[in-house]
Amino acid sequence: GIQVEQSPPDLILQEGANSTLRCNFSDSVNNLQWFHQNPWGQLINLFYIPSGTKQNGRLSATTVATERYSLLYISSSQTTDSGVYFCAVMNTGFQKLVFGTGTRLLVSP
Amino acid sequence: NAGVTQTPKFQVLKTGQSMTLQCAQDMNHEYMSWYRQDPGMGLRLIHYSVGAGITDQGEVPNGYNVSRSTTEDFPLRLLSAAPSQTSVYFCASNNRAPIGAGELFFGEGSRLTVL
């Protein structure tokens, strides 16, 4: 099946810093989503982005489907950005979303 | 607007016991799914459904049963609990996109411990 790799696995930032999280996938996809899992375990959908670029406040995401990667940018990070960020993809022709193992982000004040 | 509702939030079982995790969504989504989350392994798909009466297996279906008699409900049954099923379980739903499934919404999770 499709493989999803996220990097870096862990990231520690000072409040106010910027960061880029990467998601690589091994096959063509028709669905790619980014999620944030907060320290209380809640999973929140950040972006539905099978291709192109989207922005939502301090967060933005870009997916280059032809090169099989997606990037999540966090600017001016805040302590509330801490948690785990997951990328999930769906193979073209299949109905299953496959998750990466996540990037654990800690933003310190 | 409740979204995706899971119950119970916490459960402790003894090996061999059975139980059902309930999941309901009020967004009229066609797709529903169950994931388990274990440390260091991300989320793994257990079972999913693309509509009422239709279910299929995910990556880790063994030991679990599902049914989808209505659009709103998608219960997950553990027939004979094992310690390996200790995990956090998430139910999710998503609507249909122009191609495949759309944006995924999660419930708050159910933490299950099997002794």
DSSP calls for A26-84: SS-EEEEEEEEE-TT--EEEEEE-SSEEEEETTEEEEEEGGGTEEEEEE-S--GGG-EE
Nearest CA-CA distance, residue B55 and chain A, Å: 11
Query: What is the per-residue pLDDT for A92?
Result: 73
Determine the residue type at B20.
Answer: T
Q: Residues B103, A49: contact at Cβ < 8 Å?
A: no
> Distance (Å, rounded) from C-alpha B24 to C-alpha A1?
29
Per-residue pLDDT band at B97 (split at 50, 70, 90): low
Nearest to B103 among A41, A42, A45 (CB): A45
Nearest CA-CA distance, residue B98 and chain A, Å: 10
Nearest to A96 by CA among B68, B42, B49: B49
Which of chain A's residues have a Cβ under 8 Å away from the Cβ of B44? 99
- The mean per-residue pLDDT over the stretch B55-78 comes to 95
Query: What is the per-residue pLDDT for B100?
Result: 61
**pLDDT greater than 80 at residue B41:** no
> Distance (Å, rounded) from C-alpha A50 to C-alpha A52?
7
**pLDDT greater than 90 at residue B22:** yes
Question: Distance of CA A6 to CAs A3, A20, A66, B97, Å?
Answer: 10, 11, 18, 25
Say yes or no for a CB contact (<8 Å) between B44 and A99. yes
Tell me the residues of chain A between 54 and 93 that have a Cβ less than 8 Å away from chain B: 86, 88, 90, 92
> Distance (Å, rounded) from C-alpha B90 to C-alpha A86?
14
Q: Count the neighbouring beta carbons within 10 Å of the beta carbon of residue B110.
A: 23
More confident residue, B42 or B111: B111
Query: What is the per-residue pLDDT for A77?
Result: 97
Minimal Cα distance from A94: which residue of B?
A: B100
Say yes or no for a CB contact (<8 Å) between A31 and B41. no
Query: What is the per-residue pLDDT for A1?
Result: 83
* Strands A59-64 and A69-74, sheet pairing: antiparallel
**Splitting chain A (109 residues) into consecutive groups of 10 residues, what average pLDDT does each group show?**
94 97 94 94 93 96 96 97 95 80 95
Which of chain B's residues have a Cβ under 8 Å away from the Cβ of A101? 40-42
Query: What is the per-residue pLDDT for B98?
Result: 58
Output the furthest CA–CA distance in chain A (Å, rounded). Answer: 45
